[in-house]
Structure 1
């Protein structure tokens, strides 16, 4: 499992440095769906088999991990975006359900797209979301309020990672941007690339635009 995760993230780094761009959204999202990279729900069913979705004897003896929730909406988006809970405490391997709320305060219907990030970043390979709203377009009508669920678990393999010994807190952050269509007709966050990179935890990568 750990070697497969390492291979996924090496492949992810190669794809990003070769120039994954907004123009390549379908390919990028296909990669994310297979690996969980950037918060897109993992579709590898091996991660969601029943024997993985409960604490093992070892992880049941571990400290609970506090997952803190943060929410931000860009200035261009007239939305109030907040987590419904400040935090939850979970054991490695234990599933949890959390909710965010988004309210459109504007006078027009708007489509938004959320990016995702975890802090510390080294937690990311173990933070698996069975279902979430990240990188999915969310249309909210003027004056409408919607609940956005996140169903997740922290992989119990985390207890074998010596670099995370004593790390009992993780922050799950989402940032909503107004959506726009690029030249290829794909919806993308309506914000400068460096802003989206930072919100998604990709700051420092060079993602060149393609014509």
Structure 2
């Protein structure tokens, strides 16, 4: 039995270490490792665990910030929808809106195509009944070649005894020629303030892009009508000037009369009625 004594002694020694190990916490490290970490200053502090309420509070805070950002972005897109839509129409010629993009005004495009047929451009002028102005074109029409620039004039006169701000809308017919009808300089969508009894000439520099000759839908176009409509200006709920007229009249002047439009909410109607006239101090 003597050969069992060393084994029993070893078992006793190992069993005697177990209570000592249980006395140390979970974060126990061997003395050698702790001394190394202490010398390097990397001993992590004992951080308390977050409660369930703190975790939920942080998640709710993050969700609130995300929701607020989405709402703000949505409002920004809503406010920018109208000007962005106008920019899209002006850049693409959608629905009879003449192209005003700067990419078409390169010198190589402003060269008349001599062997092409001339296109007769007719000028039309309209105004809202609420606007006491006279608005007429100085010429009824001009004949131009594709790629040839031409200058035309409109005349506007304020017949009232007060200063008035007006805004013009425009469109081109037929619609298929609009992407090639490019305006270098015009008075569209810009506020025009006329003093009482004032009369002004409004220049219009334009050309028809020669790329229309490569479009099968436009090769047979011989007559083009450019229409302008002047409206009295008013301030909307955001303080911006816009035409003071029913929405269907504005859309018709833009060439969208045959399109179905969404009905405005009651909130928008209340805002329009409260801002139906231009601020006198601004004029």
Residue 21 of structure 1: how far off its partner (Å): 7.9
Normalised by the length of structure 1, the TM-score is 0.81
Equivalent residue, structure 2, for 1:131? 185
Runs (5+) with no aligned partner, structure 2: 1-76, 269-283
Equivalent residue, structure 1, for 2:110? 53
Distance, in Å, in 2 between the alignment partners of 1:133 and 1:205 is 28
Q: Does 1:42 align with 2:96?
A: no
Distance, in Å, in 1 between the alignment partners of 2:86 and 2:254 is 14
User: Which is greater in Rg?
Assistant: 2
Distance, in Å, in 2 between the alignment partners of 1:164 and 1:139 is 37
Equivalences for residues 144-183 of structure 1 within 5 A: 144-183=198-237
Equivalent residue, structure 2, for 1:12? none
Distance, in Å, in 2 between the alignment partners of 1:21 and 1:154 is 34
Question: 1 or 2, which has the higher strand percentage?
Answer: 1
Residue 31 of structure 1: how far off its partner (Å): 3.5
SS at match of 2:242: strand
Residue 28 of structure 1: how far off its partner (Å): 3.5
Runs (5+) with no aligned partner, structure 1: 1-19
C-alpha contact 2:99 2:179 (8 A) present in aligned 1: no
Distance, in Å, in 1 between the alignment partners of 2:189 and 2:263 is 20
Question: Are the structure 2 counterparts of residues 29 and 69 from structure 1 closer, same or farther at C-alpha, using a change threshold of 3 Å?
Answer: same
Residue 121 of structure 1: how far off its partner (Å): 1.4
The answer to which structure, 1 or 2, has the higher relative contact order (CA under 8 A, 6+ apart) is 1
**Equivalent in 108, 113, 116 of residue 170 of structure 2:** 116
Equivalent residue, structure 2, for 1:14? none
Equivalences for residues 45-124 of structure 1 within 5 A: 46-55=103-112, 59-124=113-178
Question: 1 or 2, which has the higher helix percentage?
Answer: 2
Q: Does 1:194 align with 2:194?
A: no
Q: Does 1:141 align with 2:199?
A: no
